[in-house]
Amino acid sequence: MAEELADQPKGTAEELADQPDKTAEELADQPEGNAEGMSNAEYAFSGEQGQLRDAVAAFCAEHIDESAVRAQMESDPPFDAKVWARLGSELGVLGLSVPESRGGVGGSLIDQAVAVEQLGAALACGPLFGTVYLAIPALVAASESAENTALLEPLMDGSRTAAFAVTDTAGAFDPATVQVDAARTPQEWALTGTVERVVDAGAADILLVAANGPDGLGLFAVDADTAGVRRTVRTTLDLTRPQADVELRDAPARLVAGPEEAGRVIGHALHVGSALLAVEQVGAAAHLLDLTVQYAKSRLQFGRPIGSFQAVKHRLADDLVALEHAKSTAYHAIWALTDGSDDPGLAVGIAAATCSDALTRIATDTIQVHGGIGFTWEHQAHLYYKRAYTDAVLLGSAEQHRDRIAASVLDGPPEKNPPRVATGVPT
């Protein structure tokens, strides 16, 4: 229902769905110059992106339904490795924005966001946050090398997973928070230190770790099963998004990004991660709103559907406004990172704050409108509610992002080239 009310690109949903099944590689194979065209058509999705959306949604309906999510979140590892591998090898949606020169399909971050939105709607279990949102963007942003390409390939095909063991401060990187030290060894490097609450670290094959070396800050890759690595899995509210503390004691490591680029690489990864997390929240919120609207139309009270009562009707209308606002800010951040059309930090901060608020609001209203059944273990609403409140504090809370936006736009000293604030008016 919510999707029907949203603005649609040219072509109906039926037209977009009436296409032969294609892999993400085929869908991402755009003619040269398409990226330039997209930069002038923000929020205008291509027909191929519509097909990609349908393909991922169909895959999720078949392999990542509610029963599968419940089974996976309590398993060890907390996801289905075979389904994860199929997402990478068959659909090719784990590294859509990786350029062809780095072994990817040459798609864009917009393509990646389209897939992530559908995975968010399905509440997909798996190391999306650690692998797709953070580790892969960091490896792509780092200087090209045979070692970095070798790390990328198995992450994209789903044969290995990763976690990003870098402490952030409200979604931004502060080198002062790094508590890991790197020392040279005859082989390469050895890392010692601790990183707490690392999402997806418990089952990850590779850890990307920020550490202070003799020449400055660096980003390193550590095999998670090697000697010197100890992972302590935490008990979390959201079982679909596990976390673990990582302790390193002379753990062998390879350098991914040296002091000259580590800060840039980590900052870029955090920006991309925040934007993709916002898109995931949009997908989850859209699913919940559709679910709640359908329930309000079918649940009878006093001889009429509860959706006909003004209090329910207005609540759901307000939720739709929040969802559309969130979707606009999330995809604006994705476009800003894709073509540089807006200040990335500003666009991402607005999206993170808006989408966190929208999902927590809609998740709460979902339980409210469903009444007694809404807060039972058997109903799916609580699973999304827990994801909503977990995502709301990952990479910074809404309040922290608003504080940063205010400081950047209102309180900061005059700059020669201040961040451009998008107004919606063509320039």
| Span 379-419, pLDDT tens digits | 999 999 999 999 999 999 999 999 999 988 887 555 556 55
- The tens digit of pLDDT for each residue in 307-322 reads 999 999 999 999 999 9
In a domain, 328, yes or no: yes
pLDDT at 106: 87
In a domain, 406, yes or no: yes
Residues 241 and 287 placed together within one structural domain of the fold = no
Residues 10 and 117 placed together within one structural domain of the fold = yes
pLDDT at 147: 92
| 3-class DSSP string for the chain | CHHHHCCCCCCCHHHHHCCCCCCHHHHCCCCCCHHHHHHCCCCCCCHHHHHHHHHHHHHHHHHCCHHHHHHHHCCCCCCCHHHHHHHHHCCCCCCCCCCHHHCCCCCCHHHHHHHHHHHHHCCCCCCHHHHHHHHHHHHHHCCCCHHHHHHHHHHHCCCCCEEEECCEECCEECHHHCCEEEEECCCCEEEEEEEEEEECCCCCCEEEEEEEECCEEEEEEEECCCCCEEEEECCCCCCCCCEEEEEEEEEEEEEEECCCCHHHHHHHHHHHHHHHHHHHHHHHHHHHHHHHHHHHHHCEECCEEHHHCHHHHHHHHHHHHHHHHHHHHHHHHHHHHHHCCCCHHHHHHHHHHHHHHHHHHHHHHHHHHHHHHHHCCCCCHHHHHHHHHHHCCCCCCHHHHHHHHHHHHHHCCCCCCCCCCCCCCCC
Residues 330 and 396 placed together within one structural domain of the fold = yes
In a domain, 144, yes or no: no
In a domain, 145, yes or no: no
Residues 52 and 102 placed together within one structural domain of the fold = yes
The residue out of 65, 94, 124 marking a domain boundary is 124
| Structural domain harbouring 380 | 266-411
In a domain, 403, yes or no: yes
pLDDT at 32: 39
Per-residue pLDDT of the chain (427 residues; tens, 9 = 90+): 444 443 444 443 333 334 444 444 444 444 333 433 344 467 789 999 999 999 999 999 999 999 999 999 999 999 999 999 999 999 999 999 999 988 888 899 999 999 999 999 999 999 999 999 999 999 999 999 999 999 999 999 999 999 999 999 988 999 999 999 999 999 899 999 999 999 999 999 999 999 999 999 999 999 999 999 999 999 999 999 999 999 999 999 999 999 999 999 999 999 999 999 999 999 999 999 999 999 999 998 999 999 999 999 999 999 999 999 999 999 999 999 998 888 889 999 999 999 999 999 999 999 999 999 998 999 999 999 999 999 999 999 999 999 999 988 887 555 556 555 554 444 5
203 within 8 A of 78, measured Cβ to Cβ: yes
d(CA 64, CA 86) in angstroms, rounded, equals 12
Residues 170 and 98 placed together within one structural domain of the fold = no
Residues 251 and 283 placed together within one structural domain of the fold = no
Residues 343 and 398 placed together within one structural domain of the fold = yes
pLDDT at 300: 87
Residues 401 and 299 placed together within one structural domain of the fold = yes
pTM of the model: 0.87
Residues 59 and 169 placed together within one structural domain of the fold = no
d(CA 28, CA 5) in angstroms, rounded, equals 27
Residues 284 and 339 placed together within one structural domain of the fold = yes
339 within 8 A of 261, measured Cβ to Cβ: no
The residue out of 64, 97, 124 marking a domain boundary is 124
CATH number of 389's domain: 1.20.140.10
Sign of the CA dihedral running 282, 286, 287, 289: positive
pLDDT at 103: 86
In a domain, 214, yes or no: yes
CATH number of 77's domain: 1.10.540
The residue out of 232, 260, 288 marking a domain boundary is 260
Q: Whose CA is closest to 191, among 199, 202, 180?
A: 180
pLDDT at 94: 96
Residues 378 and 286 placed together within one structural domain of the fold = yes
d(CA 209, CA 195) in angstroms, rounded, equals 9
In a domain, 154, yes or no: no
d(CA 373, CA 368) in angstroms, rounded, equals 10
d(CA 211, CA 190) in angstroms, rounded, equals 10
CATH number of 215's domain: 2.40.110.10
Residues 273 and 229 placed together within one structural domain of the fold = no
Q: Domain count for the chain, please give it.
A: 3
What's the token pair of residue 166? 């870098």
In a domain, 307, yes or no: yes
